[in-house]
Structure 1
Amino acid sequence: MAAPMELFCWAGGWGLPSVDPDCLAVLTYARFTGAPLRVHKVTNPWRSPSGCLPALKTKEEGVLSQMHQIITHLRKQQYNADSDLSARQGADTLAFVSLLEEKLLPVLIHTFWVDTKNYVEHTRKWYAEAIPFPLNFFLPNRMHKQHLERLQLIWGESCLEDEEELEKEMYREAQECLTLLSQRLGDQKFFFGDSPASLDAFVFSHLGPLLKAKLPNGKLQQHLKSLQNLCDFCSSILSLYFPWDGGDAPSSAPKTSASEGTESEEEPYKRRKQILSVLVGLAAMIGYAFLSGIVSIQRGPPGAAGPRPIALEEEEEEEEEE
């Protein structure tokens, strides 16, 4: 039997199998299709073969690091959630995916990574606690910068002219997008009937984090919660396809052995990898501190007091890997 494909993705939290929308889309699509994946749920993107998450390690195409590339590869391997869709439904899928990326995704980035209250009290707090020491000192800030740059690319130069007015317009359009999704779903179980398709995976990956996160500033979240059929849609996918894979799984819960097996490393190798990860992270942090000018070495006259040690506050390391 051929070795299963290996998927590296962000670990779960907030009652979700992964906190990252792209990782969540791939995981959900794989569950829908029964794709045989060996899943590595990590809280350190440097453990991925590509250095970013999600990443799919394949025999045919090497390592794939884009969500759409990964799903395309799964389709080539005959794991196609859209095989039974009509041409009209296929066109609707493309239209709604484009709507999600244009109208909803920018506001999700703003909600989690730009809104100061949400970022400080929720997003950064979660990643700082989840990412192992010492990487948790600078990786969340680097991710924050990357999301800001991504949002500026989406919004263009207009975001610098009247940011407050643009923000209001974007949130209004995101609410309209959610309302349109609710109307399209209606009282159906999935968007195209009783069987899930790729559109269901994409919608769930965008709505799941917004619905489940405990955001201190949740104006878009409140609108989503007012649309009961979308809330039921997310709850149904979690209960059907991730019954004990929501980031807070009970220790006695049996592990899935069908389409998606999660990796359980042997303890000696796991401990060795954790130690190496800490050492590499510490070296990277020290190098980053010197390169950025945070720390410098100054030579003084003989007999002068040596440099005082820098005190680093160590946070608890929590590496979730199933």
Structure 2
Amino acid sequence: MSNPPILLLSTPTLGDLPASDAESLYLASYLQIACPGRWAITTAQWGDNGGKLPYITHLGHHIRQSHLNNLHLVQDPDEHLSRKEKVDIECWKAYIEQNVVDLTNHTYYSLPPNYPDLLAKYQFKDLKFPESQYIPQRLRSIIKSRLQHVGLWGLGGLNSGDAADEDRQRLDEAFVVGPAGTLAPRAWSGWTAGRDMEERRKQWGEKELENTIKRVFDPLVRRLDDKSYFFGDRPSTLDLALFAQLTFMLTPALPNPLLPNLIRSTYPSLVAHHDRLFSLLFSNSYVSIPRTNDTPTSQKSYLESITSFISAPFSSSSEERNQKGEKKEKKSDQEKRFERGRWLWFTGATVAMIGYLLTSGMISIEFGSGKDDEEVYEDEEVPEESVGKEVIFVEEEVGNAE
């Protein structure tokens, strides 16, 4: 069975969800309402598309999200809206991206123990060396820098992997600043002082989170009011943007469901909005999403990449066989020039480095051996004039002494 023309390459699945990030869920919802039956979703590799996931291809060619409406297969969900309403949608989508996304990322990446016990296990379970050594840290560091900027990182507790930050914070709180900037240890207040302080900090963080959640979601509830969707009886891209964030928070069973529980208990209208769209788009089940296991490109393993890189320039045969035994086409002149230029560059860089080390004096090369120097020294004869002068000088000194 051939793949549909539009393919969504997303992050790995998360339980029942077809992806483990809200942006992939938004694109899946958008394609489901804009071109039903003409798209499919598949899990991409973290190294694809320069590490930027998710992304969309049309007939095997990468296409930007902003250009989706230009495809004849796609019908814009906001097409029936006026110009003023479209501007209003962009403003509210920016509000969601600036506020709701931060709360979602905090729930998954900062609030313990959701990241190590749930998200990381699904997102990076298929990573191989060396990607497993840097991709998880890179992704989490990006989220961490953003949450630190808005003051959400560490609010409500820290994960076990953030023990260094927690220890540093404890050390800062263990001392007080005295006169002239001197540090003095705090007075001891009992064996349970540390646990009590951590419990108070956690309770204070959860209270601050509740205030932040209410401050973010109250304007959305007022804007939605008692309507089915934000702009009439048809869902717009604003509804899809909010749905993606809500379904990412409400669908999985989180180890620490602070945010989902607060949404369910405080904002029933938002939960009803989510359920309404879920039923309309996916019939209350993500199994209905068209999925394919074919990806545009296959990723080589680390060992295969190194082997092919080393053996390619020294290959004497102009034809190779792939895994199916079929012959590949000969390399073009451009590919041959590229390989020659690459190895000439490596050779030039090596020669330049050796020349720099020799001319700078960092490495000196001496020819000859110590044995040869000794033989030359022994073969040298002392001039007779010098010997005579030394004898005369000694005789004169002896005569003066007498």
Q: Counterpart of 1:263?
A: 292
Q: Counterpart of 1:63?
A: 62
Q: Counterpart of 1:23?
A: 24
Counterpart of 1:242, as a letter, is: F
Q: Counterpart of 2:229?
A: 190
Cα pair distance change 1:279/1:116, threshold 3 Å = farther
Query: 2: distance between equivalents of 1:24 and 1:281?
Result: 32
Q: Counterpart of 2:45?
A: 44
RMSD: 3.9
Cα pair distance change 1:167/1:142, threshold 3 Å = farther
Structure 2 unaligned blocks of 5 or more = 156-164, 170-200, 308-402
Indicate which of 268, 292, 297 corresponds to 1:228: 268
Whether contact under 8 Å (2:13, 2:123) holds in the other structure is no
Indicate which of 121, 124, 144 corresponds to 1:125: 121
TM-score, with structure 1 as normaliser: 0.65
> 1:103-128 CA distances to partner (integer Å, 9 max, x unpaired)?
22212211111223222222223324
Give the 5 Å matches for 1:142-291: 142-152=138-148, 172-226=211-265, 227-243=267-283, 246=286, 249=287, 256=290, 262-265=291-294, 273=298, 276-277=300-301
> 1:221-259 CA distances to partner (integer Å, 9 max, x unpaired)?
22211222211222232232123762xx3xxx7x75xxx
Whether contact under 8 Å (1:5, 1:36) holds in the other structure is no
Whether contact under 8 Å (1:118, 1:216) holds in the other structure is yes
Whether contact under 8 Å (1:4, 1:36) holds in the other structure is no
Counterpart of 1:114, as a letter, is: S
Whether contact under 8 Å (1:29, 1:201) holds in the other structure is yes
Counterpart of 1:236, as a letter, is: R
Say whether residues 1:84 and 2:80 are aligned partners.
yes
> 1:272-312 CA distances to partner (integer Å, 9 max, x unpaired)?
958x45856999xxxxxxxxxxxxxxxxxxxxxxxxxxxxx
Q: Give 1:140 shift.
A: 2.9
SS at match of 1:56: strand
SS at match of 1:90: helix
Q: Aligned residue pairs: how many?
A: 255
Query: 2: distance between equivalents of 1:183 and 1:281?
Result: 55
SS at match of 2:104: helix
Whether contact under 8 Å (2:124, 2:132) holds in the other structure is yes
Query: 2: distance between equivalents of 1:112 and 1:148?
Result: 11
Higher relative contact order (CA 8 A, sep 6+): 1
Counterpart of 1:41, as a letter, is: T
Q: Give 1:37 shift.
A: 5.1
Query: 2: distance between equivalents of 1:24 and 1:33?
Result: 14
Q: Counterpart of 1:73?
A: 67
> 1:192-230 CA distances to partner (integer Å, 9 max, x unpaired)?
222111001110111111112322323222221122221
SS at match of 2:42: strand
Q: Give 1:24 shift.
A: 0.9
SS at match of 2:56: strand
Query: 2: distance between equivalents of 1:280 and 1:237?
Result: 45
Q: Counterpart of 1:32?
A: 33
Q: Give 1:187 shift.
A: 3.4
Quick one: percent identity of the two aligned structures? Answer: 22
SS at match of 1:44: coil
Whether contact under 8 Å (1:81, 1:198) holds in the other structure is yes
Counterpart of 1:63, as a letter, is: H
Counterpart of 2:82, as a letter, is: S
Whether contact under 8 Å (1:16, 1:245) holds in the other structure is no
Query: 1: distance between equivalents of 2:246 and 2:144?
Result: 20
Query: Please, which moves more after superposition, 146-155 or 117-126?
Result: 146-155
